[in-house]
Each structure stands twice: as C-alpha cells, then as structure tokens.
Structure 1
Amino acid sequence: MSTCATASEAQDEPLAGTAASARTWLLIEQPGPWGAKALTQSRLDPGLGRALEAAAGAHGGRVALIRRPGRHADCSPTARHRVFLARTVPGDSWVRTAVLSGSDSLEALRDIDFAAVDAPEASGKDTAAALRGAPWEPYAGDPLALVCTNGKRDRCCALRGRPLAAELAASGGANVWEITHIGGHRFAPTLLVLPHGYAYGRLGAAVVKGVLDAVRDGRVTLDGCRGRSAWDRPGQAAELAVRERTGEARADALSVTAVETAAPADTTALTHTAALAADGADGARWRVTVAHTDGRRWRVRLAETADGPPLPASCGAAPVRSVRFDVEECVQEAAVAGAARG
C-alpha cells in the first residue's frame, strides 16, 4: 500500500529543516477520539480550542491535544486534565505542568499571557506572572516523548505512530503521550521531545530510546532529527549542519542568531514564509548565523531547492514539490570577545 510516508521514504526525502516552528507548546490532555482538526473536533470545547490556538499562534506558539497510548473509546467527559506548557529556546528551555479538574477548569488556560512567555524581557514579566490562572509548577520528570498518532488527520500517523507510542510506554524511562499534530505526516512515525523541542522522524523504538537517554543528559542526537522547533526551517537545517560538522551534542550550546535570504536582494531579512512567497521554493538561498555559548560563530549558506518528483504532504493530498536544504558553505568566524564560556 502506497502512503505519503512510503513515498517519502522511497525518494529518501531529507529530514533536516522539516520540524514545525514553535517556541512555545501548550499540551492539553484530552482522551477519547480526535477529529482531523482536533482542537475543535474532540471533547475539548471548540470555542476554547480556537481561542487558545489563536492566542498561542500570535506569539510563536502551538497548541496540541495529548492522551496516553492505548485504546480511545468515545468515553464520558474527563474528570481531570494534565496540561504542559513548554518553552524551547536555548538557555531558556523549561516545562511547567498543572492538573485541572473538570472541563470548566480548562477555561483557566485562557489566562496564559503568551506574549510574556514568548518575550519575557520585552514584557517585563517573569514566568510566574505570565502563567496566570492555573496551578502551574516546574516539571522535573522524565523527558516528554510526544508521538503523533492522529489517524483522522493522516493514516500514517496512526499506522506508524501508535505502535511506537505503545512500545515506548511499555519500556518505561520516558513520559510518553500521543499527540494530535506536530507536522510532517510523511515522516511518520514523528516524535517531539521536550524540554528542548527537537523533532524526529522515521525512527524505531530502539533508536528513540537512545534519543531519550541523550535528552536526560542535556544532549541531542542527530539520527532522524528534523530540527529544533524554536527555529524557522532554514535555522533548523543550519544548526544541524553545524552539529554534524563539529560534533557538538549539548542541546543548549547552539543558537540561531540570524536568518536572512540571500536572493533576491530585496527580500533580505524576510521570514522563511515571506521569502518563499517572494522567491519561490526552488532557488531560494539563505544566510544563517549559528552561535555557540563559548563565543564561536558559524556562517551557514543554504540552498533550498526542489528535489525529485512531487510528493503528497499527507495521504490523499495532491502531490507538491519536495524541497531540501543543501549546505553550500559552513564557515567558522572569529570568536566574539568576552563571550561567556559554556
């Protein structure tokens, strides 16, 4: 049976630079069935789902539903909901959690100040002030392993994701949840790991366990890595290129400090989405600066080009051009004087 995942595998579509971009993730436990648009097609109040999605999206965040691996009958409303809020920016990565009792208690999530969570210095608010309403507390448990399993959105996520989630949950050593959507159905099984926010694809349980072991030590592994969600997609590809060339594995050692398009000249410093609209995916070039906590910096030049025949982004979707990021240049620049050592 041909699916979006098998078609992507057959073409050996690259994974680097394919993670969803989100500096903040709000995860809401909602058992039972999920529709294709789970925030408005589940037992979660659809008005609340729309409001949270809009509030988070306006400030670089995403909202998703989660549930424990297993069977998901259309059961009665849930009495209690575990929620997580995570920030994935290097040097300021954290996870907060709370338990909310009853469906009405989820209304407290409307009080989250997503603007302050995304830009605490600009807002003048600390994390406690930004997280109003719910009884948030720091999360210090095992890494959060979030496996996309929503078959109503794409069958590959169910066919490949649910077995992975079940095996990881049975083996222990991680806090495993099914999640509604993290993007990239064709790379199923897809996985988001918090607190650092790296996404992975096409990995079996044995390799994922190695990924989770590394996360406990504050490290990132490159096998199957799609990128860190804190960055735009060119930034993701550039960071992974620097890691591959230097062997740097510490998750918070590298940051993307600048992303500019190199062609055409009049789109310099546009966002990834805006630059593609101006230039088209085929032929776009990017200049990305990646900085190390010890003061080293790299200038990475990427070419974003169409690669091979069109592929469906998800099962049943019309085929579109697949794009890849090719590293044309990765040059270390002089260290910044007085930079912090790390």
Structure 2
Amino acid sequence: MKDPVTDFEYPAEWVAACRSPALLPDVRRGLAVLTSSGTVLRRGFTTGTTAAAACKAAVLSLAEDEEITGVGITLPCGIAVRIPVDAYRGTASCWKDAGDYPSDVTAGLEFVATAAPSISGSVQFVPGEGIGSFARNTHRHRQGTPAISEPALDCIRRSIAEGVEEADLPGVTVILTVPRGAEVAQKTLNPKIGVHGGISVLGTTGLVEPWDDHLMEGVLDRIARAPGGVVLTTGRLGLRYSRLLFPEREAVLVGSKLAEALRVVDGDAVICGLPGLILKFMNPDVLDGTGCATVEELSATPEWDDVASREIAAFQERYPRVRVVLVSRDGKVIGESP
C-alpha cells in the first residue's frame, strides 16, 4: 500500500498491525497516514483548501434553492476530496479541519466567501478582511500583496472556475474573508515575517501533516532502519529535490523535528531542503544583525554565501557525519557542506 501524497510504500507488517482497519481506505486515498505501531493519524486540510471550498460553495449556492452542505475540491497534490460547508444564496462558510495535528492554531477557524454574479462576465477573486498582506517589499512579494501562496491561489481560482461552470454562470465576483483572521494571526509567525492584518492562506499539497506532537513514531522508525543512509528534509519542495539529488537514499520529511530525527540516525545522513527551517535549526539567531526578517530574504542578499558557509561549517563540527545541502525554490543548490 502506497501513500499517494509522499509515494512512501507502507511495509506489509505496518498494514498487518493496523489498529483501525476501517481507516485503511483513508490511508490509501492519502487522507491519513499509517505509523509503524499500527496507529492511523488523520491528515487535515490547509487554509488554502478551506478557502477554496468556501469560495466554490458560495458560487454554487447562487444557482441552488437549497442549502449546500459539501463541495468537491481537487487538492494541489491531485487528490479529490469532499469538504463540508454551509452555503446558501451566495454566502458560504467552511471551517478549518486540522485533522490529528494538535498544534494547528487555525483549527476550527471560519472562512466566509460571498459570491455575486458578474454583469461583465468576468471571474474575480478578492481577498478581504482577515487575510494577511506583506508589510514591506521582499524579493518575492510586493508590499500590500495578499499572503496567499501560489499553490493555494491556484486551488482557489480553479475551484471558483469549476463552480462557475457547474452553476452555468457567465461570471462571478467572490470575496473571501476570515472573521477572526487578524486575531488568530497573532499566534502565528506572521508578525515576525512581515505579514500583518490576518493569517496566511497556504498549502503546497492541500493537506496538513499530523506529525508535530506525535513524536513521529513511524517517521523515526523509517529513519532508523533506512538502508544506505537517509536524507532528512523539512518540506514538500525539499522532499522533491531530495529525491532528485539523492535517488539512492530514502528521503524522509521530518518538518521541524530535525533534532529528534538526528538522534535516531544510524551512520551518515544528509539534511537537504529550503534553507529556512534548516538554518534556523542550526543557529536560531542566524538573522541577528542581518536586517532580514526571514532566511529566504537573507538568501537573496550578497551576504548569503558567507553566512551559509559559516553556519554549515559550524554545524559540521557538531555533526561531522551529516552533510547539509540547501536548495532554492527552483532546485538550485545555494549552500552545501564542503
């Protein structure tokens, strides 16, 4: 049995040990993960998925006389899901489902979309109250740009377009708001990374992994017994590039749990991925004195090469058997162990 999100092939003994066989169909669909102990942990849905569901439901409700309670969404990872909503006559609500991820501060957050037919026949999406925006210019974002990631924005726009087609509308304008977005954003990293006024709408796959506070029992087991060494990575793009750069090794997504992962590594290992979490793990104070709000911003400055080389060298003194490879979002190696 294979996880369609990560392509990990579950060992037969894990499947045989499953404590909840009725949930194995969700594991096969990618909506849950199976650990080595047989525990099934449910994946949640990202803010991007929640936003897309609210927007599509609002559009569909323009053509329905009865309340809509669920909509079909195709996630950025390609999996089709049905999301519960509450929609009627152009207004829809969808509540963020965090799955079994216990530390999700956006869990239960309401997303509200309002749709109105467009006389001009155009299709417009308008981010509104509760969605954060960038407080200053960076090399990737302009000041005032809504804090919505490209995969999430693509999912939202595609879902709106599907709703327009299904409802047979000439065009529509959809306004998305998050009523408690500004309040909840204060519990996130947004104030530190220069996003103000609300939450970020994110989601590379459309799904939230359930690992952070579960000690990653299945992941740690995979790391400990990985043949031929292991590549540890922190996110989806890092996982993709790790597989391309190190096809002979097993690449394992550990998120922010690099310290726990390194404790169970047997032999040599590689840490590979985008520099943000990795450099902050190696040195939590790496941004001090740089004038940059994020590691990604630092990576676009002339000081980057010196900073990256210095931090990697210091890290290798502590972990001489761990190689570090930092990559940009387009897969270019921008820092590595000598």
TM normalised by structure 1 equals 0.27
Which structure carries more relative contact order (alpha carbon 8 Å, separation 6+)?
Answer: 1
Greater per-residue strand proportion = 1
